[in-house]
Amino acid sequence: LSERTQAPRGTFDVLPDEEPAREAIVREAQRILGSAGYRRIETPIFEATELFARSVGEATDIVRKEMYTFDDGGGRSVTLRPEGTAPVCRAYVEHGMHKLAQPVKLWYLGPFFRREAPQKGRYREFFQVGAEALGSDDPAVDAELILLLADLLDAIGASARLRLSSLGTPDTRAAYRERLTAYLREHEDELSPDVRERIDLNPLRAFDASDRGTQRVMAGAPRLFDVLNDDDREHFEAVTAMLDDADLRWELDPSLVRGLDYYTRTVFEFESPDLGAQSGVGGGGRYDGLVEQLGGPPTPGCGWAAGIERMLLAAAAQPTPVDGVDLFVAFAKPHYRREAMRIANEVRQAGLHAQLELAGRSLKGQLKQADRIGARYVAILGDEGAQLKDMQSGEQHEVEVGALPAAVLRQRPGG
Ligand code: AMP
């Protein structure tokens, strides 16, 4: 016997029973983002590797060890997208979207790839819905984006707590980085080897470390939030004032750094207590330098991404029922198969849900199948013409074959 091939580690199949719940989340996202003027964009699943290396940051976990990178066969290095912001900014530059009315508000949905250690809520292929607003540094943009994600989580019944901070401008961050690096050097022997190794490369990430020793050191570390300049502080206060106006609860978390290099000013994360270790449901922030870094004009931007699988884990919402089957076309003899096909087609074209026997069952087996799929009516084709059976009342009467679609339509509420 040959060995069975399985789905790659950290990936999953979405089976038909699981699809309605996912679909429900996507529909809510579309409704909520659409109602705020966000329009859908799709970018390729793979991009030039340097797009991510340059924007996400050479020193980040994503770029250092989590990217699926390969040669495209023509000597070019490409990477399965690990995140959506850099591709959207690339598209903004490539299509000259700075010439449109600003901000340009976009949303996306699709698969993303990171070679992480799989666990509950953490996969190597996962789906994200994301929103980005490019071309304005108005704090209202940040606040609106945060409120939209809060609305989405609320709509699907996910309770999540919002943590918020500001990373300031690159200058503030550079000065702070030096201070933090010096502090980490003073406490070098108390840090985990991984953090120690990256003191110069990415000292901010020490705030994310999970080991006790590093956490103890970080509790006393200088905070970026405490050294923000007046403009950044004002921007942050304007954002939070609007969140307060909307009665959205938030907590300041000065240790929030997020795992990507391009963030400036506002950063935020929604966390659900139901998720265990992988508690982040969605998050994002402002990235005022990213578009320019990718070769575009100076363009501020802000956005977020939320994982579909994490939202499912955090959601109370049950899958919405699929539309019912209006008609099952059964037939007493194979001879009637073509007619059954024609009727099913006609009924579908009239906008109804119709299925026909496809597996050569006996008539008894066909009625069982109709029952199993919850068909409202069954048409039975036989030598004496067609019978229409109401599966709810059990009543059955003869119908003209040509009148079948109309008969089913008439029985429908509003038909
Ligand atoms: P990030 O870009 O890391 O902030 O991720 C944004 C959101 O995507 C997270 O809040 C999660 O909901 C989701 N996410 C990120 N990485 C994974 C993963 N490996 N598996 C499943 N969901 C993920």
Range name among 149-153, 284-288, 397-401, 402-406 with the lowest pLDDT average: 402-406
Residue bearing the CA closest to ligand 1, atom 17: 122
Residue bearing the CA closest to ligand 1, atom 18: 122
Tokens of 59: 């020193």
Which residues have C-beta within 8 Å of that of residue 401, sequence separation ≥ 6?
339, 343, 381, 385, 386
Which tens digit of pLDDT belongs to each residue from 192-227?
A: 998 999 898 888 888 888 899 999 999 999 999 999
| Ligand 1 atom closest to 259 (CA) | 3
Secondary structure (DSSP) of 245-300: HTT---EE-TT---S-TT-EEEEEEEE-GGGTT--EEEEEEE-TTHHHHTTS-S--
Q: What is the pLDDT of residue 402?
A: 84
How far is the centre of ligand 1, averaged over its atoms, from the C-alpha of 250 (Å)? Answer: 20
H-helix or E-strand spanning residue 232: helix 230-245
Q: Which of 397, 342, 352 is closest to 375 using CA atoms?
A: 352
Q: What is the pLDDT of residue 322?
A: 62
Whether residue 178 contacts residue 162, with contact meaning beta carbons closer than 8 Å, is answered with no
Whether residue 117 contacts residue 109, with contact meaning beta carbons closer than 8 Å, is answered with no
CA dist 386 and 344 (Å) reads 13
Which residues have C-beta within 8 Å of that of residue 364, sequence separation ≥ 6?
none
Q: What is the pLDDT of residue 317?
A: 61
Which of 274, 310, 312, 313 has most ligand 1 atoms within 8 Å of CB, for mutation? 310
Q: How far is CA 279 from CA 36, 306, 374, in A?
A: 27, 12, 39
For ligand 1, whether the C-beta of 85 sits within 6 Å is: no
For ligand 1, whether the C-beta of 83 sits within 6 Å is: yes
How far is the centre of ligand 1, averaged over its atoms, from the C-alpha of 316 (Å)? Answer: 19
Neighbours of 355 (CB within 10 A): 17
Tell me what the mean pLDDT of segment 317-337 comes to. Answer: 84
Q: What is the pLDDT of residue 28?
A: 95
Whether residue 242 contacts residue 136, with contact meaning beta carbons closer than 8 Å, is answered with no
Backbone angles phi, psi at 406, to 5 degrees: -65, -40
CA dist 208 and 279 (Å) reads 13
CA dist 225 and 204 (Å) reads 12
For ligand 1, whether the C-beta of 163 sits within 6 Å is: no
Determine the distance from the C-alpha atom of residue 372 to the mean position of all C-alpha atoms in its chain, rounded to a whole number: 33
For ligand 1, whether the C-beta of 280 sits within 6 Å is: yes
Strand partners, 77: 71
CA dist 148 and 32 (Å) reads 7
Q: What is the pLDDT of residue 321?
A: 57
Helix (H, G, I), strand (E, B) or coil at 390: strand
Neighbours of 350 (CB within 10 A): 14
For ligand 1, whether the C-beta of 81 sits within 6 Å is: no
Which tens digit of pLDDT belongs to each residue from 122-170?
A: 999 999 999 999 999 999 999 999 999 999 999 999 989 999 999 999 8
Q: Which of 111, 91, 87, 110 is closest to 100 using CA atoms?
A: 91
Q: How confident is the model at residue 6 (pLDDT cuts 50, 70, 90)?
A: very high
Model confidence pTM above 0.85: yes
β-strands 301-307, 264-271: how paired? unpaired
Tokens of 406: 């109309």
